A and B are shown apart, each in its own frame.
Chain A
Amino acid sequence: MSTSDQQPAPTRLAMPELLIGIGLLACAGAVAWQTLVIPVSPLYSKVGPTVFPYLTMTGMIVLSLLLIVAALRGGWQPQEEKDTPTDWKAMGIVVAGLVANLVLIHPLGFTAASVVMFVLICYAFGSRHTLRDALTGLVLALAAYFGFARALGVNIGAGFIENQLNTVIDAIIATLRG
């Protein structure tokens, strides 16, 4: 309790926290808009599908106002977080990897898209062995595809690589069965 005895630091507006509070208020606004467009049948006028959304919206408005007040009083981020500079470049490369996966998964299939994502994320985290990462990614993606997806019966996007391998596997199984 030693901090509370000291003279309180001059209150300073904390910008990131203020944006979080305003963002939550905007979310509450979106909830209100989406609740207004829920068609309510008069039969359910007592406790229809809109009662809970309105309660949620009210809660969100109150909470966002409390967050904004906290932000105006200097925010709540621990000092350690503030002192650590954000590595925007690394984050940007991770985001690029995610976007690449999203764009490529349909045309190229899961394995190829995963390899691209794998290499980019490794690069973002500081790995410079791109070829080795690509091979690791390929092995892992194939293991995920054949071990996880086929075993669980999950159908994930097959592309060129998967189709070739599926044909080979089916051929082997057919040969084994004689």
Chain B
Amino acid sequence: METLGHLAHGFSVAFSPMNLLWCLIGTTLGTAIGVLPGLGPALTIALLLPITYQVAPEASFILFAGIYYGAMYGGSTTSILLNTPGESATIVTALEGNKMARSGRGGAALATSAIGSFVAGTIGTLGVAFLAPVVVKFALAFGPAEYFSLMVLAFITVSAVLGSSSVRGLTSLFIGFVIGMIGVDLQTGQPRFTFGTNELLDGVDVIIAAVGLFAVGETLYMASRRYAGKDEIVPLKGSLYMTAAEWGRSWKAWLRGAAIGFPIGAMPAGGAEIPTFLSYAIEKKLSKHKEEFGTVGAIEGVAGPEAANNASAAGVLVPMLTLGLPTSATAAIMLSAFQSYGINPGPLLLTTQADLVWGLIASLFIANVILVILNLPLIGLWVRLLKIPAPQLYAGILVFATVGTYGISQSPIDLVILYLLGAAGFLMRRFDFPTAPVIIGMILGPLAETQFRRAMTISNGDWSVFYTHKLSLVLLILAFIGLAGPHIWAFIEHRRRRGPEHVPGDA
């Protein structure tokens, strides 16, 4: 059991007093931003990226991972008490959780989601520890062509398969590609997409893109929608302790949720929507209390999806650490933190940066323990955060957005780019374009281009490498199925539904 030895070493890194302190800061901050509507882990980690110039990699990744896990815990509190899902992954939690809060069982809903998050987060982190070395053995056989095809598959799944429309998802992704290409081409030194300006030679910083899309765009959108209905905070009633019956109904849902969430998160597709919706559907089907779903709120409908959400968040770390493949906006920003240290995540990361990787995984176990303590006995504190009025909240977010952006190079041009991206973010929000693919395209696009050019250089300009290599071909076929499959399926369904009278020769 090699992994256990590595884990023991990881705990020795994570248990240093300074790293414990970083973990505590990260989890506290993560819970806070998870609770506050309008702030998410991607934005927060982007704003904190300058810390990579100040502290060791272990410290900043322990901080970032704490924020990442903490935001999951905090987000469920907001969903349950405010019925405003902060992110797509907690939509399902709001369905039953808010119903439970309205019928006076908010305490039990918060308890099952926090303990479920702990159980699933711990299972998911164990999954990362044991699966990562296996994936590494597999990934060592990858050449540039396979990497490129794998990235194509990830591009398709994060933008076209998840979300409401593949055209709009891919549009976001391509906008990300363009932003990612701005600046000096690293292989030939030629400036690209700079419109002749010197300011754009260094490219657009990921901080500016994330802050523009997530903070400025979000603020403009919320300002434009003041006529839309307001959500009310449901006051927290009932004890935080679950009854024996509630425990009995929760624990199986937690385990099922974790079993669904982790594998889906660990695939190079990522995304927490599918596992949470899947878990919700399964719990609804298996429940002995079907009448509670959608009426007074069923505890299984909170326990399962919350567990699935946290397990898939852990799963996302597997492709990120072993293949350098981020499948969520937060993971993409963490990847840019690796780049800022000059570290390239990939199959060699686990051996060359053993302290960092195993220290990070160990700190995730500690983060889970801290988070369940922060989120159960101290829940009252976080509920108070929900009472920050919207005007001051959004104005404050923009003050921090300015710090993060203007601090990069004290250039007003950066603020201009920030506001332009904010305007784009507003339009995307208003017209239902997903924003995460922009960040993923911006970070992963240049990496895909590098692998593409490497593969083409090795093959002497022969495009066939991408389909003569078996593994690469399989990945490209999977990507094609991901893109075309749903349309073909809908077409077949449509024809079957219309019946044979429209196509007489076909029957």
Contact = CB atoms under 8 A, between A and B. Distances in A.
A155 interface: yes
Contacts of B453: 47, 51-52
Interface string B160-172: 0000010110110
Contact of B225 (A48, A87, A156): A87
Nearest to B193: A34
The SS class assigned to the A binding surface is: helix
Interface stretch (B173-181, B267-275, B375-383): B173-181
Interface stretch (B351-359, B411-419, B499-507): B411-419
Contact of B216 (A59, A67, A98, A126): A98
Chain A contact patch, size range: 35 or more
A91 B426 CA distance: 10
Interface of B: 48, 50-51, 53-54, 165, 167-168, 170-171, 174-175, 177-178, 181, 185, 187-188, 190-195, 216, 219-220, 222-228, 389-392, 394-396, 398-400, 402-403, 406-408, 410, 412, 415-416, 419, 422, 427, 430-432, 445, 449, 452-453, 456-457, 460-461, 497
Contacts of B396: 118, 140
B412 A110 contact: no
A122 B220 contact: no
B192 A34 contact: yes
Contact of B391 (A67, A84, A127): A127
Contacts of A94: 219-220, 223
The 6 A-B pairs of least Cβ separation, nearest first, read A154-B407, A125-B391, A121-B395, A127-B391, A46-B461, A122-B391
A52 B181 contact: yes
Interface in A116-133: 117-119, 121-127, 133
Contacts of B190: 38-41, 49
Contact of B406 (A24, A48, A137, A156): A156
Contacts of B395: 97, 117-119, 121-122, 125, 133, 137
7 contacts: A35-B192, A52-B181, A84-B228, A105-B406, A110-B402, A110-B406, A144-B400
Interface string A3-23: 010000000000011001000
A59 B432 contact: no
Contacts of A81: 430, 432
Contacts of B407: 149, 152, 154-156
Contacts of A118: 395-396, 398-399
Nearest to A84: B228
Nearest to B225: A84
B403 A149 contact: yes
Given A34-B195, A56-B178, A90 B399 contact: no
A108 interface: no
Given A91-B223, A114-B399, A153-B53, A101 B415 contact: yes
A178 interface: no
A143 to B, nearest CB: 9
Most buried by B among A4, A60, A94, A127: A94
Given A56-B174, A81-B430, 6 more contacts: A52-B177, A86-B224, A91-B224, A97-B398, A98-B398, A144-B403
A149 B54 CA distance: 12
Nearest to B181: A53
B168 A141 contact: no
A140 B403 CA distance: 11
A105 B192 contact: no
Nearest to B410: A157
A101 B400 CA distance: 12
Given A105-B415, A117-B395, A117-B399, A152 B54 contact: yes
A78 B168 CA distance: 14
